[in-house]
Structure 1
C-alpha cells in the first residue's frame, strides 16, 4: 500500500512540473534589403520604421539618426510563446505590443518603458553598404 501512495505522490509531483520554456527562439536571420527600391522608401527618412518578414515573428527596421538603424524581432519579450505576442505598431520610436500592452523604446536599446515586459526586444546586427542593408544574427 505504501508503494502505491509513493507512486501517486511521485506522479503528481512530475505532472505538476511544467517543462515548457517560454523564450524568444534563436532562428537564422540573413535578410538583404535594397533601400533604393520603392518598397523601402518609408525607412529612408529618419524616425520611420517598417516591418519585414524574417526572425521569429517578423523584423522591425527603425531608421535612427543619420545612417544608424535599429533592428529588432517583432516577438514581444513578455510571454513570447503566446500566439499574439508580437509588436503590432510603432510610432516615433516607440513599439507597442497589443497582446500584453508592453511598450518598448526602439530608438535606443529596445528596453521596455511600460510593464509587464522586463526584458528588451531581441535585436539583430546589420551592415549598411551603398544602400544595401544586410540584417543578420
Structure 2
C-alpha cells in the first residue's frame, strides 16, 4: 500500500526535456554581467531559455528558465532581478543564484545544467 502513496511534488508536472549544448563567449559584450560575482545573463537553449550565473571567476551555473511550478503554463518563465534573485513573476516563486527555492509556491529547485569553463568559453550541456 505504501508504494501507491506519492509525494506532493510528484503531483506537479515535470519540466519537459530538451537537448542542451550551448557555447557562451564570456568576453562578448552581451555577457558583460558575467564579469561580476552573482551577475547573470539570458541565453538561448533549453525549454524556455537558460540563465547563466557567475559564482566566481572560475565557477558558473546554468539554469533552465522554465519555472518548476506549473511548468506547462505559458507564463512560467524565470527572470533575473539583477544581483538580488531569480524569480517567476507569474507564480511569484523566488530562487537564489544557486537555483534553490526561496519563496512562493515552487517546491522544486531550478533545473540545473552542466557547465565547463575553458579559457573564455563556457560550455553548457545536459
User: Is this a same-fold pair by TM over 0.5?
Assistant: yes
Alpha-carbon deviations, 1:21-52, whole Å to 9, x = none?
72101110000111122222221222210111
In terms of fraction of residues, the more helix-rich structure is 1
Q: Is contact 1:62-1:93 (8 Å) kept?
A: no
Q: Does 1:111 align with 2:86?
A: no
Encode CA deviations 1:62-89: one digit per residue, 9 max, x unaligned. 0112311111000101000000001123
Checking the alignment, whether the CA contact within 8 Å between 1:22 and 1:81 is kept in structure 2 is yes
After TM superposition, where is structure 1 displaced by more than 2 Å over at least 4 residues in a row? 88-93
CA distance in 1: counterparts of 2:49 and 2:84, whole angstroms = 17
**RMSD of equivalent CA atoms:** 1.4
What is the aligned partner in structure 1 of residue 113 from structure 2?
A: 124
1:56 pairs with 2:39 = no
Unaligned runs of 5+ in 1: 1-20
Q: Does the 8 A contact of 2:40 with 2:80 survive in 1?
A: no
| 1:94, distance to aligned residue in structure 2 (A) | 1.2
Deviates more, 1:83-92 or 1:47-56: 83-92
TM-score if structure 1 supplies the norm length? Answer: 0.78
Q: Which runs of 5+ in 2 are unaligned?
A: 1-11
Tell me how far 1:112 sits from its aligned partner.
Answer: 0.7
Give the number of the structure with larger relative contact order, counting CA–CA contacts within 8 Å between residues 6 or more apart.
2
1:99 alignment counterpart: 90
Larger radius of gyration: 1
Of stretches 74-83 and 58-67 in structure 1, the one that deviates more from structure 2 is: 58-67
